């Protein structure tokens, strides 16, 4: 009987428990990595440099136990730097040094027996090719979180370490609560483990001198900005504010630098109180001109006191004994707020967590910045015309890949007058890659480009006058009706938003449906936000603007805001269409019955659309008029710039792409083109007269011969 009972329990275990255990094991393996399948089950794996570094981190986790306290059983490493930038300097690329992954916005988790990396969906294919097979791969915001994975790896009551300088405060609190629910403890590790193993191999920090952003471009003195900020601190009853965002510091002090890729900022901290302005920066980057600009030789409340970069930590502890209320930045759309280390440096009782006042000050561009943004986009339009005209001329005589086209686009942009660099990673996506909404091209994923499918190019530049961001879709062969329909749907949404007039109390998310409505008609949608704010010779993504339905936002459009308008259509595994323009918010000087004012959008981006991809029958007469007006603006402004540069090849290419389209079609021609209405009537009224005309001409020709 006992043997029968044991057999009964064994059957239950096999049928119910074992499958769920296997399912859980498979669930925590993450993304299926094709490159690692042939190594499955092999005890000996290739020993790469990144594998050695992974072993070194695990060793440091044990050394930490003997030198600084209890043992660390796991370690979390974000791709951020100390200022929580997505793109970081070479000396701050800790995650890339450890894993080999060259993308952004990623998180690594390491235990003594496992390692996993969380990346955005657009980087999945790239990460699969760059990571060793020791690493499991997961999507950010997927069902398996870092806490879930660590719960599977560790026993209860174990310690998980992380560097609080690299983690936003809101994210630290989220991780802490998630791990607490798993009976795990999140611990601050101030000595970054990657820095300990990096040693002398770590690149030196850049010592490029800081540039003054002249008032002729900024439009406002930095002293006036400081006075406005202090007024806002009075309003919030705060004694001081700590500013950790590099883009906010660059705006506030009218300075620019080259310390991180794609954004012209200086690695620094800034503390503003009612009596002092402390600027924490590497003194080697200072110049006599900058000292004069910041008035560092005087001793009143409008003079900037220069201090060494790392002195900010001791000063925060010192002045927290004096200040009664300190504003510490909270998250706001793209800005993650202050780090956990910043929050920990102040006593909790004096912290006032609030969105940085600098965000709203910076978002509303003054008249000089507005004119500068328009000028930058004229130059940028000329750069794109040059790049694509060269590409079309040489397309069928050379072999092209995504990376080669990327080089061509970047070369044309950087050759423009006052160009200071790129504003983002250039995206060149062909064919199936264009069907991935967040695809980023790289040497790992590079493919040949032919004339058989769509080519999506998304890029941007930094100019003294402003920042640009544009997407266009191209086809070097002949489109199918389905391709033309997809492209025209996307274009219709872009045209509709660009000509919207609306009351100023309209919420940001409420204009999103206007862009998406043509896509929704095909029972489709795109996953990315429709729009984000854009800076003036600053960050390409700037809060507080984020146009996306479903997002709760109390912000409204204001005159002088600049933001992107983006729409897309993605057919999985085949192709994608993406168009993006930058729009400016203008005041119409007309009042709304509610007391608000009417605002309007104006196109700032001036890059032609592809006319052979536009199906005129799918656009209304008004939409075609808007398109003709847009093309006329390109011919006037970009045409003048190209002629000034003497670039006639790009000029004639631009003129061909912006030719006038008919806004109205005769009824019968429209019916014939769309295949609707009485086909026999169309045959009688259009085709039969054409046949009779042809017979008449033929009869005349035969009589002439005889």
From the list 437, 413, 419, 415, the residue with the least C-alpha distance to 427 is: 437
- Whole-number mean pLDDT of the chain? 90
Above 60 in pLDDT, residue 45? no
pLDDT of residue 123: 87
Q: Which CATH architecture has domain 34-201?
A: 3-Layer(aba) Sandwich (3.40)
What is the C-alpha separation between 146 and 117, in angstroms, rounded? 9
How far apart are alpha carbons 145 and 153 in whole angstroms? Answer: 13
Tokens of 277: 């302005």
pLDDT confidence bin for 432, thresholds 50/70/90: very high
Please, what sign has the CA dihedral across residues 692, 697, 702, 703? positive
Closest CA to 476 of 383, 382, 385, 394: 394
pLDDT tens per residue across span 384-417: 999 999 999 999 999 999 999 999 999 999 999 9
What pLDDT is recorded for position 349?
96
Neighbouring residues of 13: CB distance < 8 A, sequence distance ≥ 6: none
Q: What is the pLDDT of residue 16?
A: 45
Mean pLDDT along residues 688-703 = 64
Q: Quick one: average pLDDT of 69-88?
A: 93
* Tens of pLDDT, residues 661-677: 988 866 666 666 566 55
Confidence class of residue 22 from pLDDT cuts 50, 70 and 90? very low
Topology given in CATH for the domain delimited by 367-658: Creatine Amidinohydrolase (3.90.230)
Residue 628's CB is within 10 A of a number of other CB atoms, namely 16
Other CB atoms within a 10 A radius of the CB of residue 241 amount to 24
Max CA pair span of the chain: 115
Q: Please determine whether the domains at 34-201 and 211-363 fall in the same fold group of CATH.
A: yes
- In this prediction, residue 674 carries a pLDDT of 61
- Residue 20: is its pLDDT beyond 80? no
**Residue 623 host element (H or E):** helix 621-645
Q: Whose structure tokens read 């686009």?
A: 409
Q: What's residue 8's pLDDT? A: 53
Range with the poorest average pLDDT among 135-144, 274-283, 492-501: 135-144
pLDDT of 694 reads 64
Residues 503-550: tens digit of each pLDDT: 999 999 899 999 999 999 999 999 888 999 999 999 999 999 999 987
How confident is residue 121, by pLDDT bands cut at 50, 70 and 90? confident
Rounded Cα gap, residues 656 and 223, in angstroms: 49
pLDDT at 63 over 90: no
Band of the pLDDT at 368, cuts 50, 70, 90?
Answer: very high
At residue 17 the predicted structure's pLDDT band, cuts being 50, 70 and 90, is very low
CATH topology of domain 211-363: Creatine Amidinohydrolase; Chain A, domain 1 (3.40.350)
User: Is it the case that residue 624 has pLDDT exceeding 60?
Assistant: yes
What's residue 2's pLDDT? 47
Q: The pTM is what?
A: 0.89
Q: Are 280 and 309 in contact (CB under 8 A)?
A: yes
Cβ-based neighbours of 676, under 8 Å, separated by 6 or more: none
Q: How does pLDDT run across 456-485, given as a tens digit for each residue?
A: 999 999 999 999 999 999 999 999 999 999
Specify the long-range contacts of residues 100-105, CB closer than 8 Å, at least 24 apart.
100/50, 100/130, 100/131, 100/132, 101/126, 101/127, 101/130, 101/131, 102/126, 102/130, 102/442, 103/79, 103/127, 103/440, 104/79, 105/79, 105/140
Where does the pLDDT of residue 69 fall: very low under 50, low under 70, confident under 90, or very high at 90 and above? low
More confident residue, 695 or 676: 695
Quick one: average pLDDT of 602-622?
96
- pLDDT at residue number 438: 81
> Hey, which residues does 422 pair with through a beta bridge?
461
Stretch 103-111: mean pLDDT, rounded? 95
Residue 149: both structure tokens together: 């994975």
- Report the range of poorest mean pLDDT among 44-48, 537-541, 655-659: 44-48
Q: Is the pLDDT assigned to residue 166 strictly greater than 80?
A: yes
Say what the pLDDT of residue 541 is: 96
* Domain boundaries of the chain, sorted by first residue: 34-201, 211-363, 367-658, 677-705
| Percent with pLDDT over 70 in the chain | 87
């Amino acid at each position: 009987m006992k043997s029968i009972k044991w057999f009964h329990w064994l059957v239950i275990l096999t049928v119910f428990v074992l499958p769920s255990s296997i399912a859980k094991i498979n669930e925590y393996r993450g993304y299926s990595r094709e490159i690692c399948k042939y190594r499955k089950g092999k005890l000996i794996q290739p020993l790469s440099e990144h594998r050695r570094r992974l072993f070194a981190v695990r060793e440091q986790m044990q050394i930490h136990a003997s030198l600084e306290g209890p043992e660390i059983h796991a370690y979390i490493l974000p791709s951020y730097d100390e200022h929580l930038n997505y793109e970081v300097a070479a000396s701050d690329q800790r995650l890339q040094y450890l894993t080999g992954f060259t993308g952004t916005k990623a998180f690594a988790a390491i235990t003594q027996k496992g390692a996993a990396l969380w990346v955005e969906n657009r980087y999945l294919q790239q990460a699969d090719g760059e990571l060793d097979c020791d690493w499991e791969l997961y999507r950010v915001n997927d069902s398996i979180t870092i806490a879930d994975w660590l719960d599977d790896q560790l026993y209860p009551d174990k310690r998980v370490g992380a560097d609080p300088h690299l983690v936003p405060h809101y994210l630290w609190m989220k991780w802490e609560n998630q791990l607490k629910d798993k009976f795990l403890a999140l611990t601050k590790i101030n000595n970054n483990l990657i820095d300990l193993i990096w040693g002398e191999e770590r690149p030196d920090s850049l010592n490029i001198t800081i540039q003054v952003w002249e008032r002729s471009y900024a439009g406002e003195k930095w002293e006036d900005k400081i006075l406005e900020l202090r007024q806002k601190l009075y309003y919030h009853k705060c004694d001081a504010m700590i500013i950790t965002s590099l883009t906010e510091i660059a705006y506030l002090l009218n300075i620019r630098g080259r310390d991180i890729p794609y954004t012209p900022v200086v690695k620094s901290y800034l503390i503003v109180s009612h009596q002092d302005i402390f600027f924490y920066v590497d003194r080697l980057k200072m110049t006599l001109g900058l000292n004069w600009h910041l008035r560092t030789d005087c001793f009143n409340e409008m003079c900037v006191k220069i201090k060494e970069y790392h002195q900010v930590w001791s000063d925060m502890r010192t002045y927290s004994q004096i200040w009664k209320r300190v504003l510490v930045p909270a998250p706001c759309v793209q800005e993650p707020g202050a780090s956990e280390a910043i929050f920990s440096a102040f006593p909790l009782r004096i912290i006032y967590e609030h969105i940085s006042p600098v965000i709203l000050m910076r978002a509303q561009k003054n008249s000089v910045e507005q004119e500068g943004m328009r000028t930058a986009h004229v130059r940028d339009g000329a750069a794109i015309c040059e790049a694509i005209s060269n590409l079309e001329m040489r397309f069928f005589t050379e072999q092209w890949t995504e990376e080669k086209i990327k080089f061509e686009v970047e070369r044309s942009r950087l050759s423009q007058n006052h160009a200071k660099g790129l504003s983002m990673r250039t995206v060149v996506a062909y064919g199936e890659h264009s069907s991935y909404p967040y695809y980023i091209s790289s040497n790992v994923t590079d493919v040949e480009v032919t004339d058989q499918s769509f080519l999506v190019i998304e890029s941007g530049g930094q100019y003294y006058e402003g920042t640009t961001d544009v997407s266009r879709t191209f086809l070097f062969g002949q489109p199918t009706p389905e391709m033309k329909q997809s492209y025209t749907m996307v274009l219709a949404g872009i045209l509709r938003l660009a000509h919207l007039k609306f009351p100023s109390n309209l919420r940001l998310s409420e204009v999103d449906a206007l862009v998406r409505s043509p896509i929704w008609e095909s029972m489709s949608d795109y996953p990315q936000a429709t729009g984000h704010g854009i800076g003036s010779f600053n960050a390409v993504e700037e809060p507080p603007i984020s146009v996306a339905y479903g997002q709760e936002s109390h912000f409204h459009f204001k005159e002088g805001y600049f933001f992107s308008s983006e729409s897309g259509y993605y057919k999985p595994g085949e192709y994608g269409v993406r168009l993006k323009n930058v729009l400016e918010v203008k005041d119409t000087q007309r009042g709304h019955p509610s007391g608000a004012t009417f605002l309007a959008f104006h196109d700032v981006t001036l890059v032609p659309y592809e006319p052979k991809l536009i199906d005129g029958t799918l656009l209304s007469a008004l939409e075609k008029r808007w398109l003709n007006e847009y093309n006329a603006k390109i011919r006037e402004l970009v045409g003048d710039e190209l002629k000034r540069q003497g670039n006639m090849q790009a000029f004639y290419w631009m003129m061909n792409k912006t030719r006038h389209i008919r806004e109205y079609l005769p009824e019968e021609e429209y019916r014939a083109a769309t295949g609707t209405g009485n086909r026999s009537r169309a045959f009688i009224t259009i085709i039969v007269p054409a046949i009779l005309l042809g017979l008449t001409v033929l009869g005349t020709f035969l009589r002439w011969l005889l």
